[in-house]
A and B are shown apart, each in its own frame.
Chain A
C-alpha cells in the first residue's frame, strides 16, 4: 500500500482530497489481490465515506487510518449474519427434538457451480468430514452429462468407504448413469435415503455456465424436486472478475424465495495471497463462505477463518 501521507501523523480531520490518492492506492491493492473491480470500488467508497470528517487518532497516519478502516470493513463483509454450524443443523433434522413435532428425515445438501471449479471433489471432502462425525452419507450422482462424472464419484465413494467405516460412518453412491434428468434422480435419491435411514444426502450436479439460460433454468426444477436444506455453490479462487456474475446468476437461479445458502471457495492453495474471490462473491450476494478448499485430498477442507483472510488481503 502506498506510502503517501505516511508522515502526516495524528489529529488531522480528513477531507475528501486527503483521502483521494491513498484510496486509489488501496483500490489497486485490492485488485492485485484478485478482488473484482466492482467489489474493490464499492469497498473503497464505503471506507472513504466513513472517514471523511473523521479526525485521525494521535500518532496515527492517514495510511494507517485507511488500513484499519478497510480491515474492519472486510471483516464485516465476511462475517456471516447467522450461525454456520452445519453439524448442528444436520442434527436438528436427523434427530429432531420432541418439541419440534418434526419426524426424522435426511438432511439434503446440493452442490452447484460452473464447470471444473471443484464441485465433485469438494463434495467428497464434505462426505469425508461427515463420515468422521459418524454419519450415514448417501452421495447422489446427478451430473448425468459430463463424461466420467459418475465413475469419478464411484472412485471417491469406494475410497471413502474404507476411511469412513474406520471412523464409524457409512457411505453409499446413488447412481442412475448418464443422460437422465438430474432433478428426478435427485428426488429419487432423497426418497431412497429416507427409506434406508441415511442422515445426509450429498447431491453432485453438472457444471454449467452461469450465462447459459437453458442450463441455469433447469436449476429451479432441481431445487423443487430435491428440496435441499442447503444449496452450496463452489467458486474457485482462481477466477477473476467473473466471480461476481457467477455468484449473482447462481443465487438467482432457484426461483422466487430460494437462494444460495453458502459458498465453497475452492483451490485456495493455488492463489497464494490473492484470495480476493471470496470477497467478490460475498460482496455480490451477501451469502456467506461456508468452506474453503485447500487442496486435492479429502482432508483439504477448512472453515473460513476471518482473521486469516483479512490478514492475507491486507498483506
Chain B
C-alpha cells in the first residue's frame, strides 16, 4: 500500500528525495506491529499520507491581501513560458472585480512580442497598462511604470517580467535589480503544473534570489498532477495563492 502510494507520487513528479522522506515518516506514524487486529490498515495509511501531504502544503501563513487606498505592488517572476504574462492579467482582473484600481506594467523587454501580448490581454480585460517598445532596460521600464501608476493612485500595480532560469546568473541579477527598483509588496513565482524534477532546484534558486511570498500554479487544466509543484513548494514554503 505504501509502495503504491509512493509510486503514485513519483508518477506525479514529486521530488524523488521527498517521496523517500515521506515514506519514512508514514512508517513512523503508523506502527504496523502494534496494530490491534481488525483495524482497517488501509484507512490508517490513507489518513497518514493525507496528513503528511497537508502538513507539506499548509502555508502556515496568512496570504497576502492588498490594502485599499494605497499602492500595492506585485511582481511576477518565473521560468520561461510558465504563464507569467497570462496570469498577470488574470490577477489584475481578479482584483479589479473586487474593487481595486488595478493596472499592469510590462518589464519584459527581452522576449519578442512580450509587450504586444500584455497590451492585447490588458486591452481585452480593460485594464490600464504601461510598457515601452524602445527602452531595452527592464529596470527602467519597471520603475517608470510603477512610479507613473503610483502617482495616478492605482491600488494594485502588477509587474510582469521576462522568463529566466537559475543557470544564467545575469538573468537572476536583472530580476534582483528590478525588484530593488520597484520594491514590491508581494513577489509571486509562477510555476507550470507539469514541471518535473527541476522544480525544487529552480524554485529554491528563485526563493533565494527574489524571496517570493507566494507561488501560483498554472496550467492545472492539463493532465499533470502537479507533484513537481509540491516539491517546489515544500522546499520554499510560504503563502499559497490561487
Contacts and interface: CB of A to CB of B under 8 A. Distances in A.
A211 interface: yes
B222 A210 contact: yes
A210 B168 CA distance: 30
Interface string B170-187: 000000000000000000
A181 interface: no
A179 interface: no
Nearest to A277: B196
A37 B111 CA distance: 34
B23 interface: no
Interface in B114-161: 114-121, 124
B62 interface: no
B112 A240 contact: no
Interface in B1-60: 7, 10-13, 16
A153 B112 CA distance: 7
Interface in A256-315: 267, 269-272, 274, 276-277, 296
B116 A116 contact: no
B238 interface: no
Nearest to A154: B113
Interface in A233-256: 236, 238-243, 245-246
A151 B117 CA distance: 8
Given A241-B12, A270-B202, A156 B112 contact: yes
Interface in A96-155: 114-118, 120-121, 124, 146-155
B165 A147 contact: no
B227 interface: yes
Contacts of B192: 116, 238-239
A121 B199 CA distance: 23
Interface residues of B, number: 45
A277 B194 CA distance: 12
Nearest to A243: B196
Contacts of A270: 79-80, 165-167, 198, 202
A61 to B, nearest CB: 24
A247 B227 CA distance: 19
A167 interface: no
Contacts of B96: none
Given A147-B121, A274-B196, A242 B113 contact: no
Interface stretch (A25-33, A66-74, A183-191): A25-33
- Most chain A Cβ neighbours within 10 Å, of B112, B117, B166, B219: B112
Nearest to A236: B81
A155 B111 CA distance: 10
B104 interface: no
A115 B13 contact: no
B79 A152 contact: no
B200 to A, nearest CB: 11
Contacts of A239: 192, 194-196, 224
B97 interface: no
B208 interface: no
A34 interface: yes
Contacts of A114: 194, 222
Contact of B13 (A117, A149, A241): A241
A155 B114 CA distance: 10
Contacts of B118: 147-148
A32 B197 contact: yes
B11 A242 contact: no
Contacts of B202: 270
B7 A240 contact: no
B116 A238 contact: no
B195 A147 contact: no
B197 A274 contact: yes
A168 B131 CA distance: 35
A120 B199 CA distance: 24
B167 A241 contact: no
Contacts of B119: 147-148
Interface string A1-45: 000000000000000000000000000100111100110000000
A239 to B, nearest CB: 5
Given A37-B7, A240-B194, A270-B165, 13 more contacts: A28-B16, A115-B83, A115-B219, A121-B112, A152-B113, A155-B112, A209-B222, A238-B195, A240-B196, A241-B12, A245-B223, A270-B198, A276-B196
14 contacts: A31-B10, A114-B222, A116-B192, A147-B116, A147-B118, A150-B113, A153-B113, A154-B113, A155-B112, A239-B192, A269-B165, A270-B166, A270-B198, A276-B196
